[in-house]
Amino acid sequence: MKTIIVIPTYDEKDNVAPMAEALFGVDNSLEILFVDDNSPDGTGEVIEELIKNNSRIHCLHREKKEGLAKAYLAGFKRAIELGADKIIQMDCDFSHNPKDVKRLVSEDSDLVIGSRYVKGGATPGWPFKRRLISRMGGVFIRVVTGMPLKDPTGGFKCWKVSALKAMKYETIESSGYSFQLEMNHRAWKTGLKIMEIPISFTDRVKGYSKISTAVAIESIKIALKLRRFRIF
């Protein structure tokens, strides 16, 4: 069974090599597909150097930055073309611990979510205000959509390719970080088997965050839309 890890990158030149090393240290049978949105800091060129020394590393170069959703959707398509049976989606900034990849892959659910908010999950280093806003956002989403997930916006996930195809992933409408919410909701509405396992989510060490207030607003809008409309 082939597992491919899809990692979108934008200005992550200092993280791609350490991330690849860390992931292969966990399991050298994994494959990595970086999806680079023409990073101005030269991330794409760094990845190409990695590819020269390891055939298990791939890169999908895109012409411009079009949002997280389009990067992931393009990455899913390419991973399926490469023969993936399971696809991991994760960040490149080490907020998702590479050591948790094996735990996600080992489960047999259609979708396994690395959850900050099930028992055993944690957000070390987060200030109280950020933790409160995140928690309350999750409660709001559960109430509005009815989706019974503790971490409905979680983005550290393992998908079975058969599940992605069943839920028609390519028709997802979100363009930014609300993609995570819409994908989780789509999986739930499709009737897929979903499991949440605990992870610790930490802040990045290198590079800069792409999260903004607009991300929270977008998630609220998508949650309301998911409640009102059947979108697939």
In this structure, what CATH number is given to the domain that contains residue 49?
3.90.550.10
What pLDDT digit, counting tens, does each position of 127-167 carry?
888 888 888 888 888 888 889 999 998 999 999 999 999 99
Q: What percent of the chain has pLDDT over 90?
A: 69
Contacts of 3 (CB under 8 A, 6+ apart): 29, 30, 31, 84, 85, 86, 87, 88, 105, 158
Q: What is the largest CA-CA distance in the chain?
A: 50
- Partners of 33 in the beta sheet? 6, 58
Residue closest to 36 by CA, chosen among 55, 21, 53, 50: 50
**Count of domains observed in the chain:** 1
Whole-prediction pTM = 0.88
Instruction: Report the C-alpha gap between 57 and 138 in whole angstroms.
Output: 35
> How much is the average pLDDT of 96-117?
97
Structure tokens at 205: 């060490």
Name the residue range of residue 206's domain: 3-228
Task: Give the 3-state secondary structure of 95-115.
Answer: CCCHHHHHHHHHCCCCEEEEE
What pLDDT digit, counting tens, does each position of 55-77 carry?
999 999 999 888 899 999 999 99
178: left (phi over 0), alpha (psi -120 to 50) or beta: alpha
Coil/strand/helix, residue 159: strand
